[in-house]
Amino acid sequence: MDHTLNLGWTQARTHSLEKRYRQILGINLLLLVLVGLWAILAPASLAQAAGLPLEETMHMFRAWGGMVLLAVLLYLPGWLQPLRTRWPNMMGILGRFGMGTLFLLMALFGGAALRGLLWFALFDLIFATALAILYFRLAEAELMSRP
């Protein structure tokens, strides 16, 4: 018998995929909180670690850190119940792709001073890709688990 036709199996698969999605998203949100706090509390240190010019970025990092923390708060309902609150998850994934692309373009075409933004681009694009794949699989499994 094909397990994909077994309702119990598809429900268990949905639960397993939801757990995995929540784990990866939880790690991402925790890292974002840490980076957001770092940007607010020690922007000079973050700018130096990212290899960005300190003078022009000090206040920008504080504002960016605050926005990152706000985005994490807005994402929490999507982390708590990813299948019931789809909007924060879909917008969060699209936002990660958007910000990752923006950081990448700034790093590539903004001159040598902005090369440090490549790390931010990689962070967002890697998590966006992983979360998009996992969320698509989760949504597909959820649909398949309904008779």
If you compute the radius of gyration of the chain from its CA atoms, what whole number of angstroms results? 18
pTM: 0.86
In a structure prediction context, what are the per-residue pLDDT tens digits for the chain, which is 147 residues long?
555 556 676 778 888 899 999 999 999 999 999 999 999 999 888 888 888 877 766 788 889 899 999 999 999 999 999 988 889 999 999 999 999 999 999 999 988 888 888 999 999 999 999 999 999 999 988 888 776
Q: Report which residue type is found at 59.
A: H
C-alpha angle with apex 107: 104 to 108, nearest 5 degrees? 85
Q: What is the pLDDT of residue 147?
A: 66
Q: What is the pLDDT of residue 82?
A: 92
SS3 52: coil
Sequence spans of domains, the chain: 3-144
Q: What is the pLDDT of residue 129?
A: 97
The answer to whether the CB of 14 falls within 8 A of the CB of 145 is yes
Q: What is the pLDDT of residue 7?
A: 66
